[in-house]
Amino acid sequence: MKKVLFLLALVMASCSLQTKHRGYVFPENLEERVAKIKTTTQLQDEIGDPQTRTIYGDEVWIYYSADENLHGPFPTTYDNKKVLLVWVNGKKVLKTKILNDKDLEDVKMADGETKIPAAIELNAFEELFNNIGRFSPAGLGQ
């Protein structure tokens, strides 16, 4: 019985909950602070540089924050998600939008792999023999 309890205690200790914060740490009064921002310089002073900017269409600066919950062998979950979207034109802030947990859908990854069109798949021997003669000896400067 003692061995079973010891094993159970060991398993429970390995399944401890750990939470890591990912992304920006937004201030408590984010809505009030963002409402006062009119330029990109003010935005960078208040919040910092964006994690990413859009490439196509309107220029949008994106800031993201979430808590990553690790539960031992179980899948990782995320909560307290928050996204700040800022539409920018040059040095001027045009519009801001704050998205919280309830506004963001959970995206599930599909199982399997995506096939690459026209990809050449080689086994280990083909890979080995395919590389013969491709590399010059060391010290020849090529």
Residue 2 lies in a domain: no
Residue 6 lies in a domain: no
Residue 65 lies in a domain: yes
Residue 70 lies in a domain: yes
Residue 130 lies in a domain: no
Hey, what are 69's tokens?
């919950």
142: pLDDT strictly greater than 60: no
What are the residues whose beta carbons fall under 8 Å from the beta carbon of 122, sequence distance 6 or more? 130
Residue 54 lies in a domain: yes
pLDDT in tens, 70-105: 777 777 777 778 888 889 988 899 999 988 888 877
Domains contained in the chain, number: 1
33: pLDDT strictly greater than 80: yes
Residue 119 lies in a domain: no
Residue 137 lies in a domain: no
103 by Cβ neighbours in 10 Å (0-12 / 13-18 / 19+) ranks as exposed
Taking the complete model, does pTM exceed 0.75, yes or no?
Answer: no
d(CA 30, CA 90): 23
DSSP state of 134: S
Domain that holds residue 59: 18-103
